[in-house]
Amino acid sequence: MTLCRLQTLLRLPVHRRQALAVKLLKRTLIQPSFNYKYIRDNADELLENAKQRNVHDAQPHRVGILYDEFRDITSQINERRSELNVLSKQLAQQAKDKGLQVNAEEHRAMMSDLRSQAKSCKTLVQELERKVSGVEAQLMHEAAKIPNLTHPDTPVGGELNARTVRIEGLLHTVDRIPNNPSDLSHLSSVEFRDHYDLVRDLDIVDMQAGAQVAGSRFHYWKGAGALLELALVQYAMTRASAAGFIPHITPDVARSSIVDACGFRPRSSAEELELDNALSGDLKAKANNQPSGEASQIYRAIPVAEESRNDDNNDSDPLCLVATAEIPLVAMKQKQILDGSTLPYAVAGLSHCFRAEAGARGRDTRGIYRLHQFTKVELVSLALPEQSQTELERLVGFQTALYRDLGLTFRILQMPTHELGASAFQKFDIEAWMPGRRAWGEISSASNCTDYQARRLGIRARVAGGDGGPPVFVHTLNATAIAVPRLAVALLESFQRPGGEVVVPQVLRPWMMGMDVLRRPASS
């Protein structure tokens, strides 16, 4: 739903605007299974949790009010339907007894009165159904804003409050390039160079062509650089497959409703505000409220042929470019009941990832450290609730083995509340030491999203040998195996030699066509 589409809504009369907003929202929101009673009964705790996670638009108390209103209207509808059912039976009986009536005029009057009552009752039911539809849409919309619960061990606050779990490697202790890659005690007189200078000298990345063709922060891998990307992908996929992850190559697009259900933001802050106002029917809200919150990092993809259309079917659930393969990997099991005995179900997905990276500036935008498009191998696991914490440990263990065998210096961080996003219950980041940047840089993360995504996507499991109760919502977990540009930065800066060459890690050489060292082209 685009901003243009929502602004069109605001020009309609209030009743039509709200009805159309409800229609569009229900069309673009997968029917979630929120526990409204839990939200209502624990509104204070959920509001405090949202504040600690730096989420400002969550209103659990409003959800509680809407839930009670929804239940009250639903009860009225059921009462009126029961009344209508009684009237229908009376009408049928009167019609059946028509020939037995002594006074025909009295019978006609009775039938007329019953029909009038039935008509009034039916009209009231229709009005209540329209009303409850609007309340239900607001209820779902507001409940969807509430972030996941938070693991009790999670540090509170922003990025600076991240807790270091451990550090592996010693490269962060030296400021000059070792003469011997395996011996940090003998250093040259040459300081580490930034990856941007290295890739230009090695002629393995073309940022200028990327900018000319697609805009700033797009790039071409070329020559040995292209082989390096393919080697990293092969390395990650081979290791993941050996560890039991089923390899996938995913779509690079997903419907807006899918992106939303996975905890990403397919709408801008302005669009969220317009939708809030349209659903509430508040004429004054547009003037009194301002967009707030972080800018969406999602790209929307709309076919050219549909851009100018302005009918109810246009742009109802537009495609978005995926920010991570986590989105299509989790969503491919939507609306399914899985066999609990087959869980955890672990997959590895290769995709291109697209991120607007709005607001990024400074040194992070230099070179390939922060791009709008990149290649990534993502790990996703669906687990039973009692399995998910163990599965998170397995994912982090897989990541650390992957980076240890590459020879990187890295640290594992337990991320604080502000860094969890909407979906994560607990999150660990892994940062590699990038000696040319003289800083740690994030290369991967791993998160346990518990049932946040599963409730929104309808992914459940039937527990084998259970008590015959209803299926349970699975827990979804995700972890980065390889995000190519970030890992390439760490490798290039870590394994550079005093003469400007870069040593290729041993584990990548099977896919580098015989290259064990990246060198300047002969023509340079």
Binding-site sequence positions for ATP = 355-357, 442-445
Q: What is the largest CA-CA distance in the chain?
A: 118
What separation in angstroms does the CA of 119 have from each of 107, 112, 126? 18, 10, 11
Residues belonging to the binding site for L-serine are: 324, 355, 378, 478
How far apart (Å, rounded) are the C-alpha atoms in residues 472 and 348? Answer: 24
How far apart (Å, rounded) are the C-alpha atoms in residues 406 and 408? Answer: 6
How far apart (Å, rounded) are the C-alpha atoms in residues 485 and 221? Answer: 10
196, containing H or E segment: helix 195-202
Q: Which residues contact 497 (CB under 8 A, 6 or more apart)?
A: 177, 181, 503, 517
- What SS3 string covers 132-163? HHHHHHHHHHHHCCCCCCCCCCCCCCCHHHCE
Q: Could you tell me if 286 and 304 are in contact, meaning their C-beta atoms sit under 8 angstroms apart?
A: no
What separation in angstroms does the CA of 362 have from each of 99, 117, 249, 365? 91, 72, 34, 6
How far apart (Å, rounded) are the C-alpha atoms in residues 209 and 200? Answer: 13
Closest among 418, 379, 423, 421 to 401, alpha carbons compared: 379
Look up residue 395 and give its two tokens.
């994912």
Q: Kindly write down the DSSP assignment for every residue of 458-486, as one continuous string.
A: TEEEEPTT--S-PPEEPEEEEEEEEEHHH
Q: Which residues contact 40 (CB under 8 A, 6 or more apart)?
A: 60, 63, 64, 67, 68
Burial status of residue 94 (CB atoms within 10 A of its CB: 0-12, 13-18, 19 or more): middle
Helix axis angle, 14-28 to 269-280, nearest 10°: 120
Residue 296 DSSP code = P
How far apart (Å, rounded) are the C-alpha atoms in residues 440 and 40? Answer: 42
How far apart (Å, rounded) are the C-alpha atoms in residues 520 and 335? Answer: 53
Residue 428 DSSP code = E
Residues belonging to the binding site are: 324, 355-357, 378, 442-445, 478
